[in-house]
Every structure is written in structure tokens, then in C-alpha cells.
Amino acid sequence: MSLHVLSCGPGVTIQDPGRPGFLAQGLSRGGAADRLALAEGAALLGQAVGAALEMAGMGGRLRFDRAARIALSGAPMRASLDGQALRWNASHSLPEGSTLEIGGASKGVYGYLSVGGGFALPMRLGAQGAHLAAGLGRVLEVGDSLPLGDDPGGPTGLCLPEDDRFGGGTLRVLPSLQTGLYPDAERQRFEAETFTRDTRGNRMGVRLRPEGAGFGLEQGQTILSEVITPGDIQIPGDGAPYVLLSECQTTGGYPRIGTVLPCDLPRVAQAGPGAALRFRFVTRTEALEAETKHRARIAGLAKAAQPLIRDPADLPDLLSYTLISGVTAGEELS
Amino acid sequence: MTEPAFPRLDPVGLDGLLIRFADSLSEPANRAALAFRGAVDRETWDGVEETATSLVSTFLRFDPLATPLDALADKARHLLATRDWYAADLPQGRRLLRIPTVYGTELAPQLDEAAQAAGMSPDDAVKDLSGARTRVTTIGFAPGQPYLGTLPEAWNIPRQTALTPRVPVGALVVAIRQFVLFSVTTPTGWRHVGQTHARLFRPDSDDPFLLRPGDEVAFPEVSRETFENMRGQGKDGIEVTPL
């Protein structure tokens, strides 16, 4: 029982929460570029966070050879089921043999397709996802078939409110190892500047273009190579900040002016080329409060999911839909 | 009394603590970083999710909501005070790996240029580099990729200002008295002086990473013909001896 790739965009991969534990061996954690979207997909299906299809910029045509529950999350994309439009940020029931069509993103970068029961793919170094920079796994190609996991069943027809993280905005940052080497005036200029997300960007990181002069550092060439963490804002020789994402290298010798808070990384990943981004330094106390709030939000996603209100006029053939699901004989509940 | 400059503790982002033993590469500081990480791993501290080392530092990743930074830093300071980490032994279970290498030829086109920068003839450069016994100071940047030191002073040559667009997997490159052996195809500012069949990251093997920090590595010279024969037989020719 599989999902068959009939066509697909150039950046479709399997992604999950990544592979922690290999930093000492030079392998970064990797995993979904937008971890919040991964959690949203899981919440819409009432299951634990696992692997989903991550679609950079555009999806593809996918055929399910069995009935399936799916959730669409992350960057909103045009989606349809056998020609019928499907709501984004929602979960749906698909009959056996359905062909799902997912087009380009209307905003943001990474869209996610989660499937009830996940994928029955082998674990490699403790995870199913691709780490492209490490040569672990690869992008999906036409003709690929992904085996589906057993779905114990669960809700569909749920939706989550739309979020504002798909068009840039302000990123909260903590000081990093070289922040102190920047004069105060430079740090203030860094906060006052509006940056544009460059066309250069991938799962390793995204380049930002300053409006004015770059943020190069005189001592930039003599910094000892040191551990890198996702969110680090690296300033290479050209002075244009490069914000590192989940698939980043594990060490680096470029100066780092700050580190984006983990809870703001989805906003970085989802800023499409041309999006405007700004930085704001925060205290550690503020950062901890933001992280606490973020985790509470993730923990509350399942509760936040609301039933989709269907307009009967949108349903061409009411009888073809299972309007009542989850009916049991009752014994399971006792 | 002022606090000594090193070891020095700094937060890294929201969930990291870095313990730096020096601000430049030195053998004792490298040993200190490795030994301190080993000690933290043995003590299995609550809230610490992952540990790693760079050239002269130990990194701890932790859950900042479960363990306050200050509490973790206190714990680290306490452990630091228990001994002279700069005098620590190297990790247990170290090995010597001999990795057959072709120097120069079109497989490693920057040998002549690197020899010139080091002020010696290409032949002397090969003698020097193939005779050196280096140690893995850290694994980083890409999976399984070692930094190896320390080469004789003549090899304190700078990185190139322009990047070589692409060196292949198994490329041996040199700069600032160190080798890097590449685990991925990548651009680099280091000079490509040798080529090996080493595959440093084998994700589907029981032992996915060829090298560990503290291992010693030599790169003995083999002829182009021997090298091509190894390729034909699908062998990397690497000999591993426990130390």
C-alpha cells in the first residue's frame, strides 16, 4: 500500500524531527525546515509527530492506492483531489485510488503533506527523513512509491487557523559567540536594517540582503572554527547575513552576529525570496518566555483544531462522502 | 583575583553551553576538550541532550526549560575544578589508520602549488606529507569529516583567497598545518594535494563513521596504478591498527 509519485517539484523530500545525537560526528540534526508545520500536520490527524512529505515551493501529483487520511500544513499551496479543491491547513479523507494534486505555494516556501499512519520507510541512523547535505536520502522523483504505514484511524475534517509566518517579519535573536566583537553602533544598525530574503537559500540556510552596507568584521578571517547551531546568523566575506537552518554544517569559522530563537526558525524557513526580515535582540529571559509559549502552542494544537465547516453546495455528490466516521460498537471505549 | 581567561563558559543560542579551553589550536587544549566531553558523558547529566567537541572546546546541548543555564554552568565549573584537564590522556580505544593516497596527478592537482607555498619541491612535499603521522583533532563541518594535525611548521600555509569550486569525496586538502579529508563533494579554500578512496560516512554500515577524535592517521603514498586497481576491486586499502 503506497503513495505513488506521478509528478513532483524539484525539492520534495521526506522529513521528520531529524536525527539528534550525531553532532560530534559532524552530522547536523536536519529534519523539517518548519517543525511547527510538522506538528500541525500531526495534530490535524490526531497522531504523534513523525515523517511527512516536505514540498519546497511546489508539490506534485500523488496517487494513493488505498484509502488514506491526509493533512496539509505549512506554506499554503493549491491542492485538489480528483479536481475538487481541498482546504489547506486541514485534514481530509481520501478514498482508495485518489489522485492528489498539489501545486505551487501562494506564500511561504515549505508545504507539508502528512499521512495517517505515516510512512513505512526504514530508519537510517534513527530517522526516516532525508539529509540532503549529508547525502542521506534524496529528493523524490517521478516513479517513486512510498510505502504507507498502518493507520489505526483518527480524525479528519479538522482545520487550524492560518498563521502569519509565511511572509517574513521580525526575528528575535540572542547574542552569539562573536556578537561582542561588533561595535554597539553596528549592532544597532543590524537591528534597524530591513533585510530581503535572497534567492539563494535551501535547507542548509538562507542568505539575506541588507539594504545598505554589509556586516563584515575586521577580525573575520582569524576566528577559530567553532560549533554551529541552527539559527546562527553567519556573516561571510560579502557581509550579507546567512541564517543557518536545520541541515547546516556542524562547525564554522565565519563570525556570527547573533542566533535566531528556535521558535522563530519556521519564520526564517518560510520567508520566500523577496520577503522582508528584521532582527531584534532579546534577553535570555524573553527568549525563555518565547520558548515556553511556543511549546505550549504546539502542545495545544490538537485542541485548537476545529471541524471544517463544509458548504453542502461544494459537495457534488453527498452520498460519496462518509459523513459519519469513527462509529464503534462501543466495546473499545469501555 | 580575576578569573582565568580559559576555560571559558559561554551560552550558544538558547540551548547550548560552550566550554572553551583556548582561543587557538593547541594539543593540550584539544585533549582537554575531548577529556571533558568524555567526563560529562560518563556522568550523564540530567537535561543534557547531546555533547560534542570542536578543536579546543566542548559543547553541551540541553533543554533550557528543564535545566537553567546557570545551573548547568555551575555543574560544568565544578567538574572543571576537579582536575587539570590540559594534562588529560587522549580518549581510550584509539586506532592508527593508514589510508593509501595518490599525491598530485590530475586526481589532486594542487600538490605543486601547495609545495611551492611550503617552500619545497613537490617530491619533498610528498615525502613530508606521506611520512606525517597526524591525529584527528575534531570531526566536523560534514558527517565524519576529520581535521587532522599537526603538520610540520613549513605547512603553515594560508587558505586560498578564492575557493576551488569542487573537490571530490576522499580529497586530502592542506592549510594552516592541518589536513582535512573530505566526506562530501564540496567547494574549499584548502589546497587539494592528495586523493584517497576513504568513505568517511557510510550511513548504512553498523559503524557509519570511519574516524573518531583521537585516532591517528597516516597517508602513505601509492602509485596511480595501485590506486586505480583498488578502485577496480572496490577497495579503499585502509589498514586499521589499535593503538
Query: Does residue A50 lie within any of the structural domains?
Result: yes
pLDDT score recorded for residue A191: 97
**A316 has a pLDDT exceeding 70:** no
Are both A120 and A264 inside the same structural domain? no
Summarised one tens digit per residue, pLDDT across range A241-300 is 999 999 999 998 889 999 999 999 999 999 999 999 999 999 999 999 999 999 999 999
Are both A199 and A269 inside the same structural domain? yes
Model confidence at A313, pLDDT cuts 50, 70, 90, reads low
How close, in Å, is residue B141 to chain A by CA atoms? 5
**B126 has a pLDDT exceeding 50:** yes
pLDDT score recorded for residue A241: 96
Query: Does residue A37 lie within any of the structural domains?
Result: yes
Residue of B24, B37, B54, B202 for testing the chain A interface, max A β-carbons within 10 Å: B54
Q: Is A121 exposed, middle or buried (0-12, 13-18, 19+ CB in 10 A)?
A: middle
A251 touches chain B (CB under 8 A): yes
Q: Which residues, at least 6 apart from B231, have a Cβ–Cβ distance to it below 8 Å?
A: B197
B140–A225: do the CB atoms touch at under 8 Å? yes
Query: Does residue A195 lie within any of the structural domains?
Result: yes
B56 touches chain A (CB under 8 A): yes
Tell me how far CA of residue A6 lies from CA of A76, A92, A140, B21, in angstroms: 21, 20, 11, 54
Are both A6 and A69 inside the same structural domain? yes
A231–B13: do the CB atoms touch at under 8 Å? yes
pLDDT score recorded for residue B163: 80
Q: Which residue of A has its CA nearest to B26?
A: A224
Query: Does residue A191 lie within any of the structural domains?
Result: yes
CB atoms within 10 A of CB A209: 16
**A325 has a pLDDT exceeding 70:** no
Selected from 1.10.3720.10, 3.40.50.300, 3.30.1360.40, 1.20.120.530, the CATH number assigned to the domain covering B8-87 reads: 3.30.1360.40
**What is the distance between the alpha carbons of residues B41 and B213, in angstroms, rounded to a whole number?**
15
Are both A318 and A283 inside the same structural domain? no
Model confidence at A133, pLDDT cuts 50, 70, 90, reads very high
Are both A56 and A195 inside the same structural domain? no
Q: How many domains does chain A have?
A: 2
Question: What ipTM is given for this predicted complex?
Answer: 0.92
Summarised one tens digit per residue, pLDDT across range B153-175 is 999 998 887 788 899 999 999 99
Partners of B18 on chain A (C-beta within 8 Å) are: 177, 226-227
pLDDT score recorded for residue A311: 58
- Following DSSP, what letter does each residue of B81-127 receive, concatenated? TTS-GGGPPPPSS-EEEE--BEESTTTSTTHHHHHHHTTS-HHHHHH
Model confidence at A238, pLDDT cuts 50, 70, 90, reads confident
**A333 has a pLDDT exceeding 70:** no
Bridge partners, A148 (sequence order)? A119
**Inter-chain CB pairs, A–B, below 8 Å:** 118
Model confidence at A324, pLDDT cuts 50, 70, 90, reads very low
A135 touches chain B (CB under 8 A): yes
**What is the distance between the alpha carbons of residues B104 and A218, in angstroms, rounded to a whole number?**
35
pLDDT, mean of residues A71-87: 96
Residue ranges of the alpha helices (H) in chain A?
A: 35-45, 184-192, 265-269, 284-299, 301-304
Are both A156 and A32 inside the same structural domain? yes
More confident residue, A330 or A207: A207
B15 touches chain A (CB under 8 A): yes
A226–B23: do the CB atoms touch at under 8 Å? no
pLDDT score recorded for residue B186: 84
Bridge partners, A158 (sequence order)? A307
A133–B49: do the CB atoms touch at under 8 Å? no
Range of the domain at A6: 2-160+306-333
Provide the residue count of chain A.
Answer: 334
CB atoms within 10 A of CB B103: 24
Are both A175 and A219 inside the same structural domain? yes
Torsions phi, psi of A270, nearest 5?
Answer: -90, 0
Of the candidates B12, B147, B201, which has its C-beta nearest A227's C-beta? B12
* The C-alpha cell that represents B165 in the structure block: 569550486
Partners of B209 on chain A (C-beta within 8 Å) are: 25-26
A293 touches chain B (CB under 8 A): no
Summarised one tens digit per residue, pLDDT across range B42-92 is 999 999 999 999 999 999 999 999 999 999 999 999 999 999 999 999 998
Q: Where are the domains of chain B?
A: 8-87, 95-242
3 state SS of A270: coil
Query: Does residue A301 lie within any of the structural domains?
Result: no
**What is the distance between the alpha carbons of residues A270 and A111, in angstroms, rounded to a whole number?**
9
Reduced DSSP (H G I as helix, E B as strand, rest coil) percent helix, strand, coil of chain A, to 5: 20, 30, 45
A135–B139: do the CB atoms touch at under 8 Å? no
Packing angle, helices B69-80 and B27-43, rounded to 10: 120
Nearest to A112 by CA among A36, A195, A48: A36
Q: Which amino acid does the sequence have at B27?
A: E
3 state SS of A4: strand
Tell me how far CA of residue B197 lies from CA of A26, B51, B224, B234, in angstroms: 19, 30, 12, 9
Q: Does domain B95-242 have CATH number 3.30.830.10?
A: no
Query: Does residue A62 lie within any of the structural domains?
Result: yes
Q: Looking at residue A247, which CATH number applies to its domain?
A: 2.40.100.10
Read off the pTM. Answer: 0.91
Residues B174-202 as b/e (b if ≥16 CB within 10 A, e otherwise) read: bbebbbbbbbbebebebbbbbbbbbebbe
pLDDT, mean of residues A138-153: 97
**What is the distance between the alpha carbons of residues A164 and A168, in angstroms, rounded to a whole number?**
9
B140 touches chain A (CB under 8 A): yes
A136–B203: do the CB atoms touch at under 8 Å? yes
Q: How far apart are the first and last CA of chain A?
A: 32
Q: Are A100 and A25 in contact (CB under 8 A)?
A: no
Query: Does residue A182 lie within any of the structural domains?
Result: yes
Residue of A224, A263, A264, A285 for testing the chain B interface, max B β-carbons within 10 Å: A224
3 state SS of A244: strand
Residue of A174, A246, A251 for testing the chain B interface, max B β-carbons within 10 Å: A251
Are both A155 and A189 inside the same structural domain? no
Question: By percentage, how much of chain A surpasses pLDDT 90?
Answer: 86
Q: Which residue of B has its CA nearest to A127?
A: B203
Model confidence at A220, pLDDT cuts 50, 70, 90, reads low
B117 touches chain A (CB under 8 A): no
